[in-house]
């Protein structure tokens, strides 16, 4: 069974940092592109970032580029999101999501999601 479990969220002051983790199990993690998607309270889904299966390339939404860094450790089956210079508008539940097909074979379609980890940026 595919499982994704996020951790690392919490309350942080504006300008602070957090590192989110997403532990993967039940599939060959190193074969899949991975993504982070966030959802502000009462709002819709917003794509944040993606990373290739081997970590060789990444992508970011304009709103987080230069502040957030996505990475992965395929030996540990873990995805990360380093979030720096946090702002109030970064307050959201952060989900990690797996693409449906290995090696990006079905494109950016998300068939597996974690339960989410909440991040609150407030003084």
Partner 1 sequence: ETVLTQSPATLSLSPGERATLSCRASQSVNNYLAWYQQKPGQAPRLLIYDASNRATGIPARFSGSGSGTDFTLTISSLEPEDFAVYYCQQRQHWPPLTFGGGTKVEIK
Structure token pair of residue 119: 């991040």
Least separation in angstroms between CB 74 and partner 1 = 22
Sites for partner 1 among residues 49-108 (CB under 8 A):
50, 59-62, 95, 100, 106-108
Structure token pair of residue 118: 């909440």
Least separation in angstroms between CB 75 and partner 1 = 26
Q: Pick the closer one to partner 1 by CB: 73 or 111.
A: 111
Q: What percent of the chain is helix, strand and coil (3-state, nearest 5)? A: 5, 50, 40
Interface characters, 15-54, with partner 1 (x: CB under 8 A) = --------------------x--------xxxx--x----
SS3 state at 108 = coil
Structure token pair of residue 4: 């994704």
Least separation in angstroms between CB 106 and partner 1 = 7
Least separation in angstroms between CB 109 and partner 1 = 4
Q: Pick the closer one to partner 1 by CB: 56 or 62.
A: 62
Residue 31: CA atoms inside 13 Å, Cβ hemisphere, count?
Answer: 9
Please tell me the distance from the alpha carbon of residue 92 to that of residue 19, in angstroms, as a whole number.
14
User: Footprint of partner 1 on this chain (CB under 8 A)?
Assistant: 35, 44-47, 50, 59-62, 95, 100, 106-111, 113-116
């Amino acid at each position: 069974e595919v499982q994704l479990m996020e951790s690392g969220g919490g309350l942080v002051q504006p300008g602070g940092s957090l590192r989110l983790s997403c532990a993967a199990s039940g599939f060959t993690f190193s074969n899949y592109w991975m993504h982070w998607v966030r959802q502000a309270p009462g709002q819709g889904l917003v794509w944040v970032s993606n990373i290739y299966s081997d970590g060789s390339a990444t992508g970011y939404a304009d709103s987080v580029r230069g502040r957030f860094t996505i990475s992965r450790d395929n030996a540990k089956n873990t995805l990360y999101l380093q979030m720096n210079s946090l702002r109030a508008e970064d307050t959201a539940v952060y989900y990690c999501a797996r693409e449906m097909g290995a090696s990006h074979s079905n494109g950016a379609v998300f068939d597996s999601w974690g339960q989410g980890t909440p991040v609150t940026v407030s003084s």
